[in-house]
Amino acid sequence: MSNASATSDLKPVSWTREPAQEPLEENDGALRAVRDMIRAGERNQLVDLLKKWDPLDVMQLLVRLRLKHARKLFQWLPANPSIKVVAELRPEFRSILMEESTLEQFRDILAGLDPEDAVEILNEFPDDAAEQLIARLPDIEDIGTRGSYADDTAGRVMARKFVALPEECTAGDAVAQMQAEASRIRKVFTVYVTDAKGRLTGTVEVGKLLLAPNDTQLKKIMNKDVIAVSADTDQEEVLRLARKRDMRTVPVVSGDGQLIGRITPKQLTRIAADEANEDMLLMSGVSGEARSDDTVLRIVKGRLPWLLAGLVGASVAATVVGSYEDQLAEAAILAAFIPVTMSMAGNAGLQASAVAVQGIATGALWSGDIFFRLMKELVAALFNGAIAGTLLGCLVLGASMIVPLEEPVRLALATSLSLLCVTTLAAMVGATVPIVLDKIGIDPAMAIGVFITSSNDVLGVLIFFLMATTFYLG
């Protein structure tokens, strides 16, 4: 528990440290007082108050204020406490605070930081805002070079702080170097070993380094099986590699093998969160760039294309249904089973595609295992379809004892077989499409949204009427 407090002209204003995502009612009074001070324009009084607060408390206050009040307060804060508040803010909240009027303040904040720290903070800003800030900081070389790498690549997100020592360096000298650089590097898990040209040749874990005799050269104890990525490697590929090889940090090298940075554990965690959020949005039929504070125009631009794509799919399905107008007129009972078929097709496809996307994202889906995975999906879909179809057939026969149905046995057979075929085909489409998209360089999460839902609706309706025409009306 941490308390930040000060006294205004009217009454004490204090803040009690809140657990993660658990607002405390006792802070409501402080929120009202700060909000009133913002509305009254009492800038100096409020700044004097918050200077005495812990930055984490200020961050929690900002998050609980309305966005327009949070932005106003952040504009009022001088650079010194602002730097610490920025460091405490979660990336998504840091992004929301960004607007044109605060860019100059962020520029002043970044200019006062170590270049490597500034680059690390920039990595967590929206790309458009980051580019505007980079343009305002032309004299800082490390920040300028960030813009030379494409979005979502290792070069864009890598940290430039690392310990790299020559092969001839001894363990004792290496430990002394780490101690000297401790305040700059902070956490060090791996020491990188380079040759005379700065090319990465090996790694030494800190624990192994501490246990080695002081006069032992690094080239004698280093791990020569070095795994590194190039600066233009997609960050999702970096994450897959780190998970597959259980790597805590991932070195980044230039085209000629020179060590230029590393992906830290913090960055790997952020990449995982970013990719998960993007996949979730894509699976929901929303642009992966969507943010909670988007304007109405951005919301429309991000969602309308997906809605229109869904409209096209629904229109095709409606066309299929309309082409069987005579069959529906002959046996109106068939219309009752259209929603059942479409729902089963959609659910089966989404289940299979979700598992496929997860396997691709985590690296668990190996190329040599794809055929066997698809065969397992096929067998499982056949079992699921057979069970669901049998159950539906039994329900039809049971309903025929209560409600008069024409040819109930044939109707039960048609609906059962259609459900078996629809479930099986939808599952295979759902399992296959993400893999195909991944092979051609398209985010497989896009398959789960409108594409699979619409395609399976169309296939489901088409198969249902083919079965109904063959086994019930034939």
3-12, 97-106, 239-248, 380-389: least confident range: 3-12
pTM of the model: 0.55
Mean pLDDT lowest among 23-27, 90-94, 129-133: 90-94
**Residue 358, φ and ψ in degrees, nearest 5:** -60, -45
pLDDT of residue 5: 44
- % residues pLDDT > 70 (the chain): 72
- Give mean pLDDT, residues 109-128: 64
The 10s digit of each residue's pLDDT in 411-429 is 889 889 988 998 898 888 8
Secondary structure, 3-state, the chain: CCEEEEECCCCEEEEECCCCCCCCHHHHHHHHHHHHHHHHCCHHHHHHHHHCCCHHHHHHHHHHCCHHHHHHHHHHCCHHHHHHHHHHCCHHHHHHHCCHHHHHHHHHHHHCCCHHHHHHHHCCCCHHHHHHHHHHCCCCHHHHHHCCCCCCEHHHHCECCCCEEECCCEHHHHHHHHHHCHHHHCCCCEEEEECCCCEEEEEEEHHHHHHCCCCCEHHHHCECCCCCEECCCEHHHHHHHHHHHCCCCEEEECCCCEEEEEECHHHHHHHHHHHHHHHHHHHCCCCCCCCCCCCHHHHHHHHHHHHHHHHHHHHHHHHHHHHCHHHHHHCHHHHHHHHHHHHHHHHHHHHHHHHHHHHHHHCCCCHHHHHHHHHHHHHHHHHHHHHHHHHHHHHHHHHHCCCCCCCHHHHHHHHHHHHHHHHHHHHHHHHHHHHHHHHCCCCHHHHHCHHHHHHHHHHHHHHHHHHHHHHHCC
Report which residue type is found at 180. A
| pLDDT for the residue numbered 462 | 87
Whether the pLDDT of residue 224 is over 60: the answer is: yes
User: What are the tens digits of pLDDT across the range 287-315?
Assistant: 556 555 556 777 677 677 777 777 787 78
Fold classification of 296-472 is: Tetracycline Repressor; domain 2 (1.10.357)
Residue 123 pLDDT exceeds 70: no
Quick: pLDDT tens for 70-84: 878 877 877 555 555
pLDDT of 98 > 70? The answer is no
With tokens 């920025």, the residue in question is: 86
pLDDT at 2: 47
Boundaries of every domain in the chain: 3-152, 164-270, 296-472
- The answer on pLDDT for 106 being more than 50 is yes
At 432-455, the pLDDT tens digits run 888 887 777 777 766 566 777 777
Architecture of domain 164-270: Roll (3.10)
% residues pLDDT > 90 (the chain): 5
- Average predicted confidence (pLDDT) for the chain: 77
Q: Which of 119-128, 172-181, 259-268, 275-284 has the lowest mean pLDDT?
A: 119-128
Residue-wise pLDDT for 140-189, tens only, equals 555 556 556 777 788 877 877 788 899 999 999 988 888 877 666 667 77
pLDDT band at 7; cut points 50, 70, 90:
very low
* Residue carrying the six token digits 């204090």: 14
- Residues 351-365: what's their mean pLDDT? 74
The CATH architecture of the domain made up of 3-152 is Alpha Horseshoe (1.25)
Q: Per-residue confidence at 8, pLDDT binned at 50, 70, 90? A: very low
Does residue 346 surpass a pLDDT of 70?
yes
Select the more confidently predicted residue: 461 or 364: 461
Report the pLDDT value the prediction gives residue 394, as an integer from 0 to 100.
92
| pLDDT at position 115 | 63
Confidence of residue 193 (pLDDT cuts 50, 70, 90): very high
Note the pLDDT of residue 6: 43
CA angle 215, 218, 224 (to 5 degrees): 155
